[in-house]
Amino acid sequence: MIQLLAADGTRTPHPELDEVLAGRGGDDDLASPQRLRGYYRDMVMIRAADLEATSLQRQGQLGLWASALGQEAAQIGAGHASREQDYLVPTYREHGIAWARGIEPWRLLESYRGVSHGGWDPNELRTHPYMIVLGSQAPHAVGYAMGLQRDGVVGTGDRETDTAVLALFGDGASSEGEVSESFTFSASFGAPVVFFTQNNQWAISVPTSVQSRVPLAQRSRGWGIPSVRVDGNDVLAVLAAVREALDAARAGEGPRFIEALTYRMAAHTTSDDASRYRPSSEEEEWAEKDPILRLRRHLEQLGEIDEAFIARCDEEAHDLAMALHHHIHGMEDPDPADMFTHAYAEPHPIVEAEREQYLEYVAQFEDDAEQTGERS
């Protein structure tokens, strides 16, 4: 397992990946103190947004929330490892990925509140919609990567335009057939895609050990897809491994697979009761490996962080949570008539007719209300 930061924050050297972090090929230093502080801030921000979303769910403002608590390093690391032009294909728990891509957190809450199914423009934000049907997004990632090959933006040597796809799915989702088919298709065509699994140890109540007889990282090797396992609570290890794999994919070397070992600190979702299947000792053990704490310790060892910075991050995080709170409380329900708008791209007589029917039906009540109003 690749680890660059031990749980106590100590930095372990890694000749190859250190080079990647240091900015191979003219990149900025991905491990500069300034960057490290940025990752720290990002993780603090999304944790705050995440906790706020959980409390919004408790207040009845969201129907459900899938917390990414504990997975911040895996997501912030992978998100920042991608380049501007890359296309990211997330699941439903990728709040750190979305944050790293500049998607505003309230947009993630929309689908959990039930006001939309996602709704952002994937091409504009270069991020696929959140995916609920496990594994379904993996072949989309491969197809997009096949499109990149046809567009001539793979393996040209131009860092600004060469592009790859980062496909994310959970350890449980990796049991789905579509993930296996995605391995097959990407390997067959040498498509520039990096599969990234956050092995958070559990797929609801079923542990990874039941779903795979070998470490997940070994799975893709049957397809000839090189793979590594990284410490998913180590933002630097994730960053370096994903950057290295994406660079290889961009260079035309074909697909890669990365398993990031992490832990889902919260329940699966706000509807789940993790205490039914998970020993609290396990949670305590993983709390020791907290990704935010670990980076903070590292920065402390470097002498690159002070109380003022930490306080500023906490304050910003608090402001973000407050902003989310106000945004959600002020969020209006969409006009139900809008549900007819985007079923089809081209005119559809049956949808049109049903929309008219709906509007007429609703208008009856408005008429009734007006009449009653007149009488009283």
Ligand X SMILES: Cc1ncc(C[n+]2csc(CCOP(=O)(O)OP(=O)(O)O)c2C)c(N)n1
What torsion do the CA atoms of 220, 222, 227, 229 make, to the nearest 10 degrees?
70
**Which is closer to ligand X, CB of 127 or CB of 200?**
200
Residue 150 touches which of ligand X, another protein, none (Cβ within 5-8 Å per kind): another protein
* Cα–Cα distance measured from residue 269 to residue 65, given in angstroms and rounded to the nearest whole number: 6
What residue ranges in 235-316 does DSSP mark as E strands?
256-261
Q: By CB under 6 A, is residue 21 in contact with ligand X?
A: no
**Which is closer to another protein, CB of 83 or CB of 296?**
83
**Which is closer to ligand X, CB of 170 or CB of 254?**
170
Picking from 114, 130, 120, the residue whose alpha carbon sits closest to that of residue 331 is 114
* Positions 219 through 278 that interact with another protein (CB under 8 A): none
- Residue labelled with tokens 């009734």: 368
Q: Residue 298 catalytic? A: no
* Positions 203 through 242 that interact with ligand X (CB under 6 A): 203-204
Q: How far is CA 33 from CA 24, 58, 84, 298, 300, in A?
A: 17, 38, 21, 10, 11
Q: 322 near 56, Cβ under 8 Å? A: no
Q: Residue 268 catalytic? A: yes
Q: Where are the alpha helices (DSSP H) in 190-290?
A: 208-211, 216-219, 235-250, 280-287
Minimal distance, residue 153 CB to another protein, in Å: 10
Nearest residue to ligand X on Cβ basis:
170
Q: By CB under 6 A, is residue 270 in contact with ligand X?
A: no
Minimal distance, residue 348 CB to another protein, in Å: 6
* Cα–Cα distance measured from residue 175 to residue 14, given in angstroms and rounded to the nearest whole number: 32
| Segment lying near another protein (by CB under 8 A), choices 98-106, 260-268, 341-349, 363-371 | 341-349
Residue 264 touches which of ligand X, another protein, none (Cβ within 5-8 Å per kind): ligand X
* Cα–Cα distance measured from residue 71 to residue 39, given in angstroms and rounded to the nearest whole number: 13
Q: 186 near 224, Cβ under 8 Å? A: no
Q: By CB under 6 A, is residue 93 in contact with ligand X?
A: yes
Q: Residue 264 catalytic? A: yes
Q: By CB under 8 A, is residue 190 in contact with another protein?
A: no
DSSP 8-class letter at 335: P
The residue annotated as part of the active site, out of 264, 294, 296, 298, is 264
Binding mask 108-147 for another protein (x = CB under 8 A): --------xxxxxxxxx---xx---x--x-xxxxxxxxxx
Minimal distance, residue 210 CB to another protein, in Å: 23
Rule CB under 6 A: choose which of 134, 142, 194, 242 binds ligand X: 134
Neighbours of 200 (CB within 10 A): 26
**Which is closer to another protein, CB of 141 or CB of 238?**
141
* Cα–Cα distance measured from residue 219 to residue 138, given in angstroms and rounded to the nearest whole number: 15
- Total residues interacting with ligand X, rule: CB under 6 A: 14
**Which is closer to ligand X, CB of 134 or CB of 138?**
134
Q: 266 near 296, Cβ under 8 Å? A: no
Picking from 111, 114, 81, 120, the residue whose alpha carbon sits closest to that of residue 93 is 111
| Segment lying near another protein (by CB under 8 A), choices 17-25, 26-34, 336-344, 368-376 | 336-344
Active-site residue set: 264, 268, 277
Q: Which residues bind ligand X (CB under 6 A)?
A: 93, 132-134, 170-173, 200, 202-204, 264, 268
